[in-house]
Structure 1
Amino acid sequence: MFSVRPLTVVLADVCFCHWPVDADALSRSIPDWLTVETADGDAWVTAVAHTISGVSSFGVDLTGPVAAVTVRTYVRGPDGHRGVRFLAVYADDALTATVTEPALRLPYREGRLGRRTDDGEYRTRRTLDVDGRCVLDVRYTPGDGETTTAPPDSLAAFLVERHRYFTTGGFGTHLVGSVGHDPWPLGTVDADVSGTLLPTLGLPDPAGSPLVHYSPGTELGLSPPRPLWLD
């Protein structure tokens, strides 16, 4: 499956913010051909705040550093394969939006993203919607220790190690794409997360406090989605 990955994306300074939510409530925001997957008794919605250090296609560089936030949840397709369903993509670069919408069939949303480092002690990523309201504010300080990978069958692995995404094409076509990468290197982080992201996207309120993972980054190989029957 997916022997050609025309897009290579390098991510850096990645902060995963995960919220537990009620699975039945979340299922109303997911197409009925997908099944919401749960872990530790909850469904999960994740905002991934990151910097896209570069994007290339067949060795040709397309864009430089871009701030972005992707919002996703965890599902199984009709064949039972695990993957993610993207709920929103915020990016501060027009080319990124041009790629995500028609090529990858991802739900781009307009907004403004900011990132800064304060006195070398902590970093702040802020996402504003088109009306200037703060939908996500993440203040975090990565630890100095070595990175590790998530143990198999752990909650961390459930939340970060996904290699498929499901989306919908024209005329309601069921599509699946691949995301190839090595296991995410994860490090410790102190973080404070706030904002109105979930209700802004019409998603259920969190059932608990957010869980945060941090990674210095990795390289992804992306394949545009194709009909499930070709999978």
Structure 2
Amino acid sequence: MPNWSALLEHREHRPWPLPERPWIMTMSWRELLFAHWRVDPERLSASLPAGLSLDTYQGEAWLGVVPFRMANVGPRGLNWLPGASAFPELNVRTYVVKDGKPGVWFFSLDAANALAVHSARTGFFLPYFRAQMRCERREDGWIDYRSERRHPPAPAGVFEGRYRGVGEVYRSSPGTLEHWLTERYCLYASDRKGQVRRGEIHHMQWPLQRAEAEISACSVSDGWGLALPDEAPLLHYVHDIDVVCWLPERA
């Protein structure tokens, strides 16, 4: 089990200080693929709620599809429950900024755990959806992954493919695109009244690898009018990273 308190001692890489209030939840993200596509900024801006601004890198906007496995999920001291603390998850995301704090905006988060979906929708105001999912690691290092969203009335969406990390683990450098895409320490959500909320998170700097992937189906963003371009995505792989998070507050 990770040492969550020790994790908080490593903060030199953060763009702003840790929240002063106690963190409330843990999770570990494992066997994760970052797949990013350049997308028309106007299309993405039109999909955001009022109060959030699209964040761009050198004028370019990016849409990410991120499949991985969740582990150690739960409130402090209760992240070990069988059937509730580990499951596959896949999110569709872009990058936003509010009050000078760059973060992540999720169009969808598909998960193979009904309790997690309900809890995240209720407590964190995030667009979680139930999905039938499979995530299997092969002996040669390939991760076979399939997700099919099954949460009416949410739009259908399928991801199917395989991926793996290649090469040495490294940390991204400030100012680079991969640093801009990955080193974000808050998420944004819209509550039932349409007000923007900010949820703070903390983890070590991302231990990235280059990645290769064979994606045979990826329609998980289509339901939001964000069909992916035909060009090959920018790929990164992360074997695992441990995370603590705080309840979202009004931004």
Q: Shared fold (TM-score greater than 0.5)?
A: yes
Cα distance in structure 2, aligned partners of 1:27 and 1:43: 9
- Structure 2's unaligned 5+ residue stretches are 1-18
Q: Is the 8 A contact 1:51 1:66 kept in 2?
A: yes
Q: Is the 8 A contact 1:22 1:207 kept in 2?
A: no
* TM-score when normalising by structure 1: 0.89
The superposition leaves residues 203-231 of structure 1 with CA deviations (integer Å, 9 ceiling, x where unpaired) of 25437321111001111111121112xxx
Cα distance in structure 1, aligned partners of 2:228 and 2:118: 31
Q: Is residue 123 of structure 2 the alignment partner of residue 103 of structure 1?
A: yes
Q: Is residue 236 of structure 2 the alignment partner of residue 210 of structure 1?
A: no
Letter aligned with residue 63 of structure 2 = V
Letter aligned with residue 223 of structure 1 = W
Q: Is residue 155 of structure 2 the alignment partner of residue 120 of structure 1?
A: no
The superposition leaves residues 161-195 of structure 1 with CA deviations (integer Å, 9 ceiling, x where unpaired) of 11011111132222111011110101122112342
Match of 1:26 among 37, 40, 44: 44
**Structure 1 residues 169 and 118, CA gap change in structure 2 (3 angstroms):** same
Q: Secondary structure at the match of 1:200?
A: helix
Q: Is the 8 A contact 1:135 1:195 kept in 2?
A: yes
Cα distance, 1:139 vs structure 2: 1.2
**Structure 1 residues 85 and 175, CA gap change in structure 2 (3 angstroms):** same
Q: Is the 8 A contact 1:29 1:203 kept in 2?
A: no
Aligned equivalent of 2:59: 41
Cα distance, 1:125 vs structure 2: 1.0
**Structure 1 residues 121 and 60, CA gap change in structure 2 (3 angstroms):** closer
**Structure 1 residues 2 and 226, CA gap change in structure 2 (3 angstroms):** farther
Cα distance in structure 2, aligned partners of 1:149 and 1:73: 21
Aligned equivalent of 1:153: 175
Cα distance, 1:40 vs structure 2: 4.1
Identity of counterpart residues, as a percentage? Answer: 27
Q: Secondary structure at the match of 2:37?
A: strand
Match of 2:199 among 177, 194, 207: 177
| Aligned alpha-carbon RMSD (Å) | 2.1
* TM-score when normalising by structure 2: 0.83
Aligned equivalent of 1:59: 77
Q: Secondary structure at the match of 1:110?
A: strand
Q: Secondary structure at the match of 2:42?
A: helix
Q: Secondary structure at the match of 2:100?
A: coil
Letter aligned with residue 183 of structure 1 = Q
Aligned equivalent of 1:199: 222
Letter aligned with residue 226 of structure 2 = L
Q: Secondary structure at the match of 1:101?
A: helix
Letter aligned with residue 104 of structure 1 = F
Q: Is the 8 A contact 2:132 2:147 kept in 1?
A: yes
Q: Is residue 160 of structure 2 the alignment partner of residue 137 of structure 1?
A: yes
Q: Is residue 207 of structure 2 the alignment partner of residue 189 of structure 1?
A: no
Cα distance, 1:36 vs structure 2: 0.7
- Structure 1's unaligned 5+ residue stretches are none
Cα distance in structure 2, aligned partners of 1:218 and 1:206: 29
